[in-house]
Structure 1
């Protein structure tokens, strides 16, 4: 027997939640269960394009603001083409009746990355109110056939900055008969439930419809966090491979690269204040240019965000992926040990075999740098061409320019004395004292840390809509990690299938939602102070 449950995704973004739900599959007492995504809804047209490309499902580009909220957020009246979505319109656009609704409303107004003063402005308060309006739309649209589960995912700070909004949402849900998990049990770490290589604390409100689902909802099991290197180690180095702009490093100022090299792995800008900077001197001699790295802590304030210039360790779990663009505004960096194209991985790199010895295993490589074998052939009748692997002097005339583009074939290298100015931008490889390259994470790598697939639904290499790397990163940072979404979907699916069999699912995991209301649950558990 097979049972399919249909899911509607509000504020779907690029589809992390949908990918996770689509990947969930469970078998309970002979019943094979799965989820089917009806569609995703989002106000961002590029996110909708990404959603369709990544999930293969329909995306509806809709603004869920009320007219009043639109004016508060944008500071002006909406255009004539704008249309306020009503419960009836929402139901008509969606089509199928959902069994589960997964919502992940905008979290900017709730996030600690936004200053408190900004969070209190009319603009962000209007954005925050989308949490209440979306639930209201759902309940009224499906009042005659309410979903079994309604999920609201967001940042943990929603319980403080948005406490009054959550109370309104709970009141709405309880009015329609839903049982809701209490605030002590609805925090989770996406990394732990999804087995990710990042720590990502989130909030999840789960509303269960007892008329359709009379069973416990348990938390997913906790998995071991991976290290950054475990996840990124199989990717090509930045600038290589088939992912184009997604896997390119930003052009940073020379002084930024120097700062990153001076920060120890696992540290951030605060470590620069204790740096013995006088011993770090970059010079060119003889010549007029002499560059000394001055105190790199200049220009920082004591209240600067801790994520600025943070260099993460290759073998540690990463911090939460956000939409930050550059190291000096919070984008994470990594101490990458894969220098010289993963130097040291193969013992037969540049290997030269003895003429009178035995060969080692023949492989399919064709480049001596990658492990192809060379031989000391004694039958040499000529000398190598002059200039092979030659490095020419900066202050002397060049050798004859030939058609070969490989430095092995002629003097195609030069000793360039021009150390970059501190404000000059580019991609510079500076080896830190720990022997690694401290560099920013590429957009592709941030996506992989979020468990974003490397291929589209069509099988083509990953690409995102538009041309703005800042927009790419924002959408990736806002995404629910598919692996974490699947962990949530798995436990929801098990509960639904058990209910299908007329049973209560039993598990050793912590309970997310009980079949009782708050007061009843307090009595059953013998708890006196339920709000502690």
Structure 2
């Protein structure tokens, strides 16, 4: 049994990839989900979507004209056209999806954006895309409504965007949908190596789908090391252009080395008088490294994740001082072949110069006794007290923690464009494929019997129950 899915605000295709990987059996039949298309306004995201999923991506700006003006601060260009329900229906070839998955922009609902800024006209226009996506879907496919409509976003939408959710629910119920909403951890349902709490609304077409939609089972999560251990160390030639370390101030590298695994910037308030920095056998006192941040500063700044635990949520953070994107990497303590990671002494003759310029493959590094200035930028390996290298995660590693394949067609994953900040933003905005697959398989367990006017009971909970931490009176139907 094949079902068709349309993805609005599709991004780089994490949701679609998970749907495509979903498999479920019922009465000897195998259920699968085909991707009709992914729709997004970002040309680079569309290119990534097609590369990752192999399915078509359609570049469409789903803003209304007024929303476009409010967001951009000016009139749209002459060749810009407002998407209508008819043009959306035409764009997918006049077909009707069984499932519509929408993950509208969440910036205005995120805790990373201040409340005052979220209330500005620009970000309110962005928020309105949540409703507009649902409106376009219901009007475009009114003659044969989808069996299921899924709306995914950050948990804070339940408070900052409550008025929008109320309107979305009223609209869906008007079209004959039973609506359930709640929260889940993508890491727990997808066996990821990161905790990622999300809000999910499921709208079930009661005429087509008489049965409940059940919660996917909770799985054992991975650790960061489980995911990253198979990757080469950063800056390896085999890792591709997304597996590079940034050039940071020497003070930043030193701060990271002094923060204990699992801790953050607050760990720098300790007394480091018992520590010293050793370079080529020469000792130097630890300079002042405290940040001076005020109490209440976000705990993800300079946070160093443990290798043997799951990571924090992968976001679009670009530097160690704006997200939990650093790791205590123990792999420099391994025993590679002779010459690998070799360090030349400053006061001795060098080994034979070879054609390798990769520190992972030969003796291509030197023990330089000249301690850099604190504000000097570069890439330094400072071994921490417990013997690990505390360093930023590369963009490729963040993609791996999000569940994306690190190789496609035998080559390292490389997203469109050349902006590392844009790569990270698109990765951070993505739905992890494994979590999406878990959701899709629960959809199949409901849709397959429904196609033959049957339904089944499950031992799993009915999706979606509210989590204890939200304590919102959400109803399941």
- TM-score clears 0.5: yes
Residue in 2 aligned with 1:439? 391
Q: Which residue of 1 aligns with 2:190?
A: 194
Helix, strand or coil for the counterpart of 2:391? strand
Aligned-pair Cα RMSD in Å: 2.6
Q: Please state how far the C-alpha of 1:505 moved relative to its aligned partner.
A: 1.8
> How much has 1:416 moved relative to structure 2?
3.2
Report the count of equivalent residues. Answer: 462
In the aligned structure 1, how far is the partner of 2:41 from the partner of 2:10?
9
Pair 531,283 (structure 1): closer, same or farther in 2 beyond 3 Å:
closer
Matches within 5 A, 1:506-517: 506-512=457-463
With over 3 angstroms needed to count, the CA separation of the structure-2 counterparts of 1:160 and 1:284, relative to structure 1, is closer
Q: CA deviation at 1:292?
A: 3.7
2-structure distance, mates of 1:439, 1:412 = 20
Q: In 1, Cα distance between the equivalents of 2:352 and 2:318?
A: 42
SS at 1:247 equivalent: coil
Match of 1:354 in 2: none
Residues 358-393 of structure 1 show CA distances to partners (whole Å, capped at 9, x for unaligned) of xxxxxxxxx5468xxxxxxxxxxxxxxxxxx98453
2:241 counterpart SS class: helix
* Match among 48, 51, 55 for residue 46 of structure 2: 48
Question: Could you say which residue in structure 1 is the equivalent of 2:347?
Answer: 393
What is the correspondence of 1:4-403 to structure 2 with a 5 Å cutoff? 4-95=2-93, 96-181=95-180, 183=181, 186-273=182-269, 275-282=270-277, 292-339=285-332, 342-343=334-335, 368=338, 391=345, 393=347
Kept in 1: contact 2:26–2:448 (CA 8 A): yes
- Give 1:272 deviation, angstroms: 1.0
Q: How far off its partner does 1:190 sit?
A: 0.2
SS of the residue 2:256 aligns to: helix
Alpha carbons of structure 1 residues 157 and 412: separation in structure 2 relative to 1, 3 Å = closer
4+ residue runs of structure 1 moved beyond 3 angstroms?
281-287, 367-370, 389-392, 401-407, 411-416, 529-532
Structure with higher Rg: it is 1
d(CA) in 2 for partners of 1:139, 1:493: 21
1:302 Cα deviation after fit: 1.9
* DSSP 3-state at the match of 1:41: strand
Per the alignment, in what secondary structure is the counterpart of residue 489 of structure 1? helix
- The aligned counterpart of 1:374 is none
Give the aligned partner of residue 495 of structure 1: 446
Structure 2 match to 1:450 = 402
User: Deviation at 1:128?
Assistant: 0.5
TM-score by length of 1: 0.82
Query: Would you say the 8 A contact 1:16–1:480 is kept in 2?
Result: yes
State the match for 1:352 in structure 2: none
Taking a change above 3 Å as real, the CA distance of residues 164 and 427 of structure 1, as seen in their structure-2 partners, is: same
Structure 2: give runs of 5+ residues left out of the alignment. Answer: 358-362, 466-472
Other structure's SS at 2:273 match: helix
Partners of 2:131 and 2:390 in 1: how far apart?
43
- What is the CA–CA distance in structure 2 between the aligned matches of 1:420 and 1:103, rounded to whole Å? 49
Residue 468 (1) aligns with residue 463 (2): no
Q: Give the TM-score normalised by structure 2.
A: 0.91
1:477 maps to 428
